[in-house]
Structure 1
Amino acid sequence: MSSQEIEVLVVGAGQAGIAMSEHLGLHGVPHVVLERDRIAEQWRTRRWDSLVANGPAWHDRFPGQEFNVDPDTFATKEQVADYFVSYAEKIDAPIRTGVEVTSVRKNHGRTGFRVETSDGVIEARHVVAATGAFQKPVIPPVIPDSAGIPQIHSSSYRNSQQLPDGAVLVVGAGSSGVQIADELQQSGRQVYLAVGPHDRPPRSYRGRDFCWWLGVLGKWEASAPPRGAEHVTIAVSGAHGGNTVDFRALAASGIILLGMAGAYDDGIVSFAADLRTNIANGDANYLSMLDEADAYITRNGLDLPEEPQARILGPDPDCVTNPIRELDLAASGITSIVWATGFAFDYGWLQVDAFDDNGKPKHQRGISSEPGIYFLGLPWQSRRGSSFIWGVWHDAKYLADQIAIQRSYHAYTASRPSAD
């Protein structure tokens, strides 16, 4: 088995790994990026066919290159993947595709790490885990396989044709769940959508996208989520040209809204009595942002068109005022379930002391508790924007700076006093 040495090994060639490579290159740090598939593979094969970016092209990009689309449009998943391939070529990133990292272990009695890969062993002084947060799809153990109903995670969903004929239960009302439910309903299916706690920002308001509002209001720079909101999803979408997610409109289209999915017993799924509360809290989040935007416009004397209709919410649909608490899957014609319930970390290959008892990385702005190990692409790694394309670029710059500082310490040689 071949053996190589490198200063920094970056694992993953998605947006995080490419950003890391750019900043390491600017510092002149020797490094290699290993990717088990193709560059930006997850954008191509772990997303549904019609997916577009959740932010407009002028915002969701690296500073050094624009998308080759209208800045106010939302790039398709293929355009996003092609963008990263082009960017990697532009910076001449040293990426090796088709190479899987199987284990990383700390060397004993000397610096660095032993990295075992499908293409041999690499000795690295520093290792950056740039595999992001969307690693292991999570399907709650609610409905057993013995129930005989097909269940897939949103990361495996591609289009309505892959599901059997019949109604569909979509669990999860973040960006993925809302968009998939809407697409399935438009394909002619009856859709049931389980809605949990969520934030619901306006897609745009008074002529500005919500990404712009989060920027000027300083919300992208928030260092931590509000207490109790660590797992609250964001219901925002770039689909259909970028409309605000409106659960009342989804209900009007025929989607039946439900509360959070609960237990399963003999073909019947129960749902929490929290639907109305979840909708109301999402509305409050939405209206609060409108208030802050109005105040900002007044304070800064901006000439932006008023939008009073944005505050008209309309009456709650019957499925909200008279929520369904139990659903017989067979009687409702439900023949498949899509779980849009997020992801868990999967760092089984990283066998170092850098995780808590729940398997979550222990780190400060991506610098782990294990010296020489770094994480990149984590939600809230340094700020609210960390898991966005532009946010990971800034986090990568910080980590590259820290690696360069450590290299300078290692390069230090004490001068010897002259002998008289």
Structure 2
Amino acid sequence: MDLDTVIVGGGQAGLALGHHLHRAGVPFAILDAHDHVGDAWRQRWDSLTLFTPRRFSALPGLPFPGDPDGHPGKDEVADYLARYAAHFALPVRLGCRVTSVRPGPAGGFTVDTSTGTLQARRVVVAAGAFHTPRIPDVARKLAPRVAQVHSARYRRPGQLPGHDVLVVGGGNTGVQIAAELADDGRRVALAAPTLGPVLPQCWLGRDIFWWFSRSGTMRLSPQSRLGRRIAAQNPIIGTDVAGLLRRVDRVGRVVDAEGDHVRFAGGGRRRVDAVVWATGFRAHYPWLQVPVLDPSGAPVQREGVTDWPGLYFLGLPWQRARGSAVLGWVGRDAEVLAARLAEDRRPAPARPAVPA
């Protein structure tokens, strides 16, 4: 085998796992398609600021610099991840796009990349959960003159033409972008049939994530009753939603479109110059040629472990807990997985001799 372990993806999940594997003495390489560590964060919208304060935004072994109670911007996160990889001298192979992971001819896996082919005993998939935008089919019915952008490619209000903008999606991303566009003087409609419960960024003098940390909220299991409830609610954090709804028009679910008009559930209709689809992402692993995906393309796994020996996932939402896909908490899942991989490398105990 060329490598003991290949980690696909050099974001926070892959880097945190790399740190723990390095400490455990497990040989590995991190493969990342970007040109620089942290580029996935640099490509997000300009004003993006984390909900989590810096004290709760660090990966294992390296504090996040700056005011621990302040909230970092997306470029700060990107720079921190690059510093993290350099600080621990993690073996990140940049510009290395994985094109295929398939069972190897002699066991393990064959990993085809844009820079060559590797053989690996184990593969950890730490990418793919937030890479492929989900855009409804109705988008194709809009006229070419209507500018359309998914939130993954939204950068700033100035990239959108015209005055009338529709933001589709009522999660944290949708309400934040709607607020920014309203601040820019656009006439904004927010298509959000449902909105989750609104939580303040600060409560009783403490950041909400201080309370989450003290109460164990970020460690909640997806199988727990409270975990299932929180996952279904998708709370909105830190946005003054009541104030926002006084500045934007809230409309229903998008059901159809024609030309530069969009129709909503209940019969409403609106002309738009631009649409921002804040409609989330879908799991997408077209390069994974191992039968561990369900019919929708999502991984079939339990706490990151699949039924295919040697193939694991890391960084999925609610993989082991509420914090599994959150920057400051993914290290806990990484530590558990690294311990499993290190244990798997140890030689099996010798069997006692059988008397003749």
Deviation at 1:271, TM superposition (A): 3.0
Q: Is the 8 A contact 1:132 1:377 kept in 2?
A: no
Q: Is the 8 A contact 1:11 1:127 kept in 2?
A: yes
Q: Is the 8 A contact 1:147 1:267 kept in 2?
A: yes
Equivalences for residues 409-420 of structure 1 within 5 A: 411-412=347-348, 414=350, 417=353
Equivalences for residues 368-407 of structure 1 within 5 A: 368-407=306-345
Specify the alignment match of 1:184 in structure 2.
181
Q: Is the 8 A contact 1:171 1:194 kept in 2?
A: yes
Specify the alignment match of 2:257 in structure 1.
264
Specify the alignment match of 2:239 in structure 1.
245
TM-score by length of 2: 0.92
Larger radius of gyration: 1
Q: Is the 8 A contact 2:13 2:126 kept in 1?
A: yes
Counterpart check, 1:136 vs 2:132: yes
Specify the alignment match of 1:41 in structure 2.
39
Partner-residue secondary structure (3-state), 2:217: coil
> Matched residues in 2 for 1:120 and 1:256: separation?
52
> Matched residues in 1 for 2:120 and 2:104: separation?
10
Counterpart check, 1:126 vs 2:108: no
Residues 329-388 of structure 1: CA distance to partner in whole angstroms, max 9, x if unpaired? Answer: 1xxxx2000011100111111110211122111111111121101101100000011111
Greater shift in the superposed pair: 176-185 or 220-229: 220-229
Specify the alignment match of 1:223 in structure 2.
221
> Matched residues in 1 for 2:60 and 2:5: separation?
23
Equivalences for residues 104-123 of structure 1 within 5 A: 104-108=101-105, 110-123=106-119
Counterpart check, 1:363 vs 2:301: yes
Partner-residue secondary structure (3-state), 1:368: coil
Of residues 2, 5, 8, the one that matches 1:8 is 5
Amino acid at match of 1:70: D
> Matched residues in 1 for 2:229 and 2:218: separation?
18
Counterpart check, 1:31 vs 2:8: no
Amino acid at match of 2:37: I
Q: Is the 8 A contact 1:223 1:384 kept in 2?
A: yes
Specify the alignment match of 1:314 in structure 2.
none
Specify the alignment match of 1:203 in structure 2.
201
Deviation at 1:229, TM superposition (A): 6.4
Instruction: Decide whether aligned partners of structure 1 residues 230 and 213 sit closer, same or farther in structure 2, where only a CA change above 3 A counts.
Output: closer
Specify the alignment match of 2:248 in structure 1.
255
> Matched residues in 2 for 1:262 and 1:55: separation?
35
Amino acid at match of 1:261: V
Deviation at 1:143, TM superposition (A): 3.1
Deviation at 1:390, TM superposition (A): 2.0
User: What's the % identity of the aligned pairs?
Assistant: 39
RMSD: 2.1
Specify the alignment match of 1:309 in structure 2.
none
Specify the alignment match of 2:288 in structure 1.
350
Specify the alignment match of 2:80 in structure 1.
83
Partner-residue secondary structure (3-state), 1:250: helix
Specify the alignment match of 1:235 in structure 2.
236
> Matched residues in 2 for 1:76 and 1:271: separation?
34
Amino acid at match of 1:234: P
Q: Is the 8 A contact 2:33 2:94 kept in 1?
A: yes
> Matched residues in 1 for 2:229 and 2:80: separation?
36
> Matched residues in 1 for 2:116 and 2:261: separation?
51
Partner-residue secondary structure (3-state), 1:389: coil
Greater shift in the superposed pair: 190-199 or 81-90: 190-199
> Matched residues in 1 for 2:287 and 2:239: separation?
38
Instruction: Decide whether aligned partners of structure 1 residues 233 and 260 sit closer, same or farther in structure 2, where only a CA change above 3 A counts.
Output: farther
Q: Runs of at least 4 residues of structure 1 off by over 6 A?
A: none
TM-score by length of 1: 0.79
